[in-house]
């Protein structure tokens, strides 16, 4: 049972344009969401997070939007840069459901074309 | 971000042998340690959760006698893959959870190949 889903396994974007990565979840007890970036043979690197009490969080070129009613979140990267090319995982956790355990999505491979 | 080290980064072993992977949080104390593995083109799957000084809690389908976890201190945890088989070949990643704070950081991972 995949509680966190990233339905797009890959995404290709032109440098300078916006990258939008999507994530859906099914567990309504999740209350904290995170995005990680991962290169091959490396551990995930934390990018940005959002609590369920917010609907938007921004950090430089990265913005995460949360739509609780739709159980959907998205990561916007603007402007996209070639160095952003990696696999992006969304993750979720909820104190009342799984405590500090993170549930990961399946990942989206982003390729930014120069 | 927080500094987490894992050793070794890459290991090749023969079937039937045991391999120990170390995970250290270098600039914070971790009361909880999560161990994940990732098979090619798949998501990170949680294997077990350990709290310092107590036994680990394993996820469904993960054999506790095969994957031994020791979390003896707030900065060090080890995962030992006992009697390794080729199907145990995977990318193992530790994630120490800090005593304070809400973000979760990850080690660089260990690529295990069992021949």
Average pLDDT over residues B40-63: 88
**B12 touching chain A per CB within 8 A:** no
Angle at A40 between CA B29 and CA B96, to 5 degrees: 10
**Interchain contact B107–A (C-beta under 8 A):** yes
Average pLDDT, chain B: 90
3-state secondary structure of B10: strand
* Whether B49 and A49 lie within 8 Å, measured CB to CB: no
Residue B102 has pLDDT above 70, yes or no: no
- B55-95 residue pLDDT tens: 899 999 999 999 999 988 888 999 999 999 999 999 999 99
Distance CA(A50)–CA(A76), nearest Å, equals 13
- The reply to whether A100 touches chain B by the CB within 8 Å rule is yes
Query: Minimal Cα–Cα distance from B74 to chain A, Å?
Result: 17
pLDDT (tens digit per residue) in A10-39:
999 999 999 999 999 999 999 999 999 999
Please give, rounded to a whole number of angstroms, the shortest distance from the CA of B42 to a CA of chain A: 6
CB of B4 less than 8 A from some CB of A: yes
* CB half-sphere exposure, A74, CA atoms < 13 A: 11
């Amino acid at each position: 049972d995949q509680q966190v889903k990233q339905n797009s396994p890959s995404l290709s974007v032109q440098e300078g344009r916006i990258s939008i990565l999507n994530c859906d979840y099914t567990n309504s007890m999740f209350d904290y969401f995170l995005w990680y970036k991962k290169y091959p043979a490396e551990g995930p690197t934390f990018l940005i997070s959002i609590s369920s009490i917010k609907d938007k969080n921004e950090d430089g070129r990265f913005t995460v939007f949360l739509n609780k009613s739709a159980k959907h979140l998205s990561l916007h990267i603007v402007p996209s840069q070639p160095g952003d090319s990696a696999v992006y995982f969304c993750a979720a956790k909820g104190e009342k459901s799984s405590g500090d355990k993170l549930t990961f999505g399946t990942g989206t491979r982003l390729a930014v074309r120069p | 971000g927080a500094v987490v080290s894992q050793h070794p980064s890459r290991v090749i072993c023969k079937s039937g042998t045991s391999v120990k992977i170390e995970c250290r949080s270098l600039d914070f104390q971790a009361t909880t340690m999560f161990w994940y593995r990732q098979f090619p083109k798949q998501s990170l799957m949680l294997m077990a959760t350990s709290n310092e000084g107590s036994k680990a809690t394993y996820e469904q389908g993960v054999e506790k006698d095969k994957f031994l976890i020791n979390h003896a201190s707030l900065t060090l945890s080890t995962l030992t893959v006992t009697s390794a088989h080729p199907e145990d070949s995977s990318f193992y990643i530790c994630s120490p959870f800090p005593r304070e704070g809400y973000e979760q950081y990850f080690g660089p991972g260990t690529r295990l190949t069992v021949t």
